[in-house]
Chain A
Amino acid sequence: MDLKCLCKKEYKKIDKTDIDHLKNIIEPGRILINEEISEDFSHDELNTVRGYPEVLIEPLSADEISKILKYAYEKDIPVVARGSGTGLVGSCVPLNGGIMLSMLRMNKILELDEENLTLTVEPGVLLMEIAKFVEDHDFFYPPDPGEISATIGGNISTNAGGMRAVKYGVTRDYVMGLEIVLPNGTILNPGGKVVKDSSGYSIIDLVCGSEGTLAIITKAILKLLPLPKKTISLLVPYPDLNTAIGSVPKIIRSKKIPTAIEFMQREVILAAEEYLGKKFPDSSADAYLLLTFDGGSKEEIEKDYDAVAKICISDGAYDVFISDTDERKDMVWSARKALLEALKASTSEIDECDVVVPRNKVAEFINYTDSLQKENDIRIRSFGHAGDGNLHVYVLRDKLDEKTWKDKLALIFKKMYSRAEELGGLVSGEHGIGYAKKEFLSSHYGLEYIELMMGIKAAFDPKNILNPGKVCQF
């Protein structure tokens, strides 16, 4: 498919007049030019694509952003929004220079509405700040991606999922309203503090997951739930990964829905132990499931997990370990949350595939990645959300030279994505498409689908100034 001609354009390079104009909108200290910009802003967490903005701005309000966008729109200057830079597909990397909006200073929690069960926040609030704030008030914001230092704006932009998706769904399910700035500077407020919404096309759902290509999010109204009083995790050791993952459809069929079902393999746990300098409570088995249950009381949860524990044991689990206190949960989950960092520390470079497959196909897909590992003589490690079918498969470079690495990686990724497609899966479960996965998206969905996406992009952004070259643009 040749889509290369569709979105290419030359953007205006920023000159002194532009800088002077921007400095009229933004006070000194919140605007940095060229060499003043730290290297951090040229890449995201995975660091596979790089590009510097010409100007870095830290806006404080929708009004400022509106003025900046209006100017950029008029002058044909590209604009990229950036949160904490914890993305894994290059979404926040400016490919064409231009202006970068760092949203970190728009970090206020604006309102907790206990009557409507909503929390209104600015986009730069960190996920961990939201979690702490709402829990202190006995509320619960369920989306829980492992990266707690990500911003809520970034989470909405990628429709982040996380570990509690099995029971509670993903970020999109918790966004009730937004304030957005369109590329021409118009400020809109789709949605609101309403539970139902059949009022025309859902702009919220379009913006959610659009990775900064349609509009800049300047405010979000999030849905909250009452905080479950108690959570208990189960760590279940299995002789091998196949047996472990084989239990998952049975657990789901039991209707005792855990909030999370994660799987981990021994080698990854050992890497996490080394990385954290802390022992995992058990590392004798080859594979583990990590399940979490929540509920109103210990007794209620015990009743649920009892049924699941029996399923696991009859399936061949060695035992079921109970993690029921803060210390124990911390022991288990600190390792789970450090797995990616630990893998990164164990090799020279990694690349990842974040496919999502139907839940009953997880074992088949993981077996396939295992066979790719042997076939290509390369380390492939995986862990992830067995309960929602979202897999994080990491290919590790180790000592491979640049060419061998690139060649092997291209081949393995091609095979993995086409296998996922055969199984009824999709390209990305929660990390997004950004720059890194757009080829896979287009080969998955085909020209007509991508053209529809481009049409949506053009409706929001006719001059294509917002985060160009991402998602559906080539």
Chain B
Amino acid sequence: MNIIVCIKQVPGTSKVKVDPQTGVLIRDGIDSKMNPYDLYALETALKLREQYGGKVMVISMGPPQAVDVIKEAYLMGADDGILLSDKKFAGADVLATSYALSQGILQFKDFDLIITGKQTTDGDTAQVGPEIAEYLKIPHISNVIRIIKATDKYILLDMDLPEYTGTVKVLFPCLITVEKDIFQPRLPSYKKKIATMDRPIKILGIAHMDDKNEKNYGLAGSPTQVERIFPPDEKFDREIWTGSGESLAEKMTEKLKELKFI
């Protein structure tokens, strides 16, 4: 089974400040890391490879320094990686990003499954995965919480829906987005760091895509524009209950159920 995992480099901390004038994130001096949700996607791919064989390839889009997330994926066990990096990709919204990634994915030629994380921690739209699938005209399933089994033709999995869990059989090629905690992501390995030190990372631009029309990428290909970025208000909502230990325990159980913690 050949699997492509989409990964993204995001700021290493949630305490990123926003420039009050321009509304742009101030990334100077802030470490970067792989989007935490993508770790679950990559782990799912690595687990599937352990069980069914094949290759795990990663793709990312970003500035040249985003090669670091590809390297990090190598340290976790990915076999191959592509970075889409081209000034003309800059300023892409969700749709243009999805389009560029779908074009990039076509460069891998041979794949059965694409896995993405649920969302990113800097964009939080959770739309890129499904939009890639739409561009590639392949089926997609979001919010996957469990992989039941895979064959060479299809994958059987559980998806989380608001009221219930759906068990779905999806034919390859397809795309899935996985929920946090589907598997515990492994840590990057020092031995793999040494072993993959010289492994190449392909950096591709518009010139390498099937569609070379610049108008479909970056700012030019984005129907939406970010007007302003601002940190959300912090909420300190709290409820105070009084009562006997027993009644409070019951109330708390109900509340936790309501909030879907249990």
Residues of A that sit less than 8 Å from B by CB: 230, 234-235, 278-282, 298, 309, 313, 319-328, 331-332
In the complex, the chain A residue whose C-beta lies closest to that of B15 is A136
B39 close to A (CB within 8 Å): yes
Q: A230-B31, A322-B75 are in contact. Are A328 and B187 (CB under 8 A)?
A: yes
CA distance A332 to B34 in the complex (A): 18
Residues of B within 8 A of A279 (CB): 184
Whether the Cβ atoms of A322 and B188 lie closer than 8 Å is yes
CA distance A319 to B191 in the complex (A): 6
Whether the Cβ atoms of A282 and B36 lie closer than 8 Å is no
Residues of B within 8 A of A322 (CB): 75, 187-190, 193
Residues of B within 8 A of A326 (CB): 12-13
CA distance A281 to B12 in the complex (A): 20
Whether the Cβ atoms of A281 and B187 lie closer than 8 Å is yes
Complex A-B: 23 CB contacts under 8 Å = A230-B31, A278-B184, A279-B184, A280-B184, A281-B184, A281-B187, A282-B186, A282-B187, A320-B191, A321-B186, A322-B75, A322-B187, A322-B188, A322-B189, A322-B190, A322-B193, A323-B187, A324-B33, A325-B12, A325-B33, A325-B34, A327-B39, A331-B187
Residues of B within 8 A of A328 (CB): 187
Residues of B that sit less than 8 Å from A by CB: 12-13, 31, 33-34, 36, 39, 75, 184-191, 193
In the complex, the chain B residue whose C-beta lies closest to that of A233 is B187
CA distance A235 to B190 in the complex (A): 10
Whether the Cβ atoms of A319 and B185 lie closer than 8 Å is no
In the complex, the chain B residue whose C-beta lies closest to that of A308 is B190
Residues of A within 8 A of B33 (CB): 324-325
Contact of B184 among A235, A319, A331 (CB under 8 A): A331
In the complex, the chain B residue whose C-beta lies closest to that of A280 is B184
Residues of A within 8 A of B36 (CB): 325, 327
Whether the Cβ atoms of A313 and B191 lie closer than 8 Å is yes
Residues of A within 8 A of B189 (CB): 319-322
Residues of A within 8 A of B31 (CB): 230, 298
Contact of B190 among A278, A309, A325, A327 (CB under 8 A): A309
In the complex, the chain A residue whose C-beta lies closest to that of B186 is A281
Residues of A within 8 A of B186 (CB): 281-282, 321
In the complex, the chain B residue whose C-beta lies closest to that of A309 is B190
Whether the Cβ atoms of A321 and B190 lie closer than 8 Å is yes
Shortest beta-carbon distance, A246 to chain B, in Å?
Answer: 19
In the complex, the chain A residue whose C-beta lies closest to that of B36 is A327
Q: Which of A319, A323, A325 has the most CB of B within 10 A?
A: A325
CA distance A321 to B187 in the complex (A): 6
Residues of A within 8 A of B188 (CB): 321-322, 324
Residues of B within 8 A of A331 (CB): 184, 187
Shortest beta-carbon distance, A292 to chain B, in Å?
Answer: 14
Whether the Cβ atoms of A320 and B190 lie closer than 8 Å is yes
5 closest A-B pairs by CB: A321-B187, A279-B184, A320-B190, A322-B188, A325-B33
CA distance A280 to B2 in the complex (A): 27
CA distance A374 to B185 in the complex (A): 36
Residues of A within 8 A of B39 (CB): 327
In the complex, the chain A residue whose C-beta lies closest to that of B33 is A325
CA distance A325 to B10 in the complex (A): 12
Shortest beta-carbon distance, B59 to chain A, in Å?
Answer: 21
CA distance A298 to B31 in the complex (A): 9
Residues of B within 8 A of A280 (CB): 184
CA distance A323 to B187 in the complex (A): 6
Shortest beta-carbon distance, A87 to chain B, in Å?
Answer: 26
Shortest beta-carbon distance, B179 to chain A, in Å?
Answer: 15
CA distance A325 to B76 in the complex (A): 14
Shortest beta-carbon distance, A342 to chain B, in Å?
Answer: 17
Shortest beta-carbon distance, A338 to chain B, in Å?
Answer: 15
Residues of A within 8 A of B184 (CB): 278-281, 331
Given contacts A278-B184, A281-B186, A319-B190, 13 further A-B contacts (CB under 8 A): A281-B187, A309-B190, A313-B190, A319-B191, A320-B189, A321-B187, A322-B187, A323-B187, A325-B33, A325-B34, A326-B12, A328-B187, A331-B184
In the complex, the chain A residue whose C-beta lies closest to that of B121 is A327
CA distance A280 to B184 in the complex (A): 7
CA distance A324 to B13 in the complex (A): 12
In the complex, the chain A residue whose C-beta lies closest to that of B34 is A325
Residues of B within 8 A of A319 (CB): 189-191
Shortest beta-carbon distance, B41 to chain A, in Å?
Answer: 14
CA distance A332 to B188 in the complex (A): 13
CA distance A319 to B193 in the complex (A): 11
Residues of B within 8 A of A323 (CB): 187
Contact of A281 among B13, B185, B190 (CB under 8 A): B185
Residues of B within 8 A of A282 (CB): 186-187
Q: Which of A280, A282, A328 has the most CB of B within 10 A?
A: A328
Q: Which of A321, A331, A332 has the most CB of B within 10 A?
A: A321
In the complex, the chain B residue whose C-beta lies closest to that of A305 is B190
CA distance A282 to B191 in the complex (A): 15
CA distance A323 to B186 in the complex (A): 10
CA distance A462 to B225 in the complex (A): 77
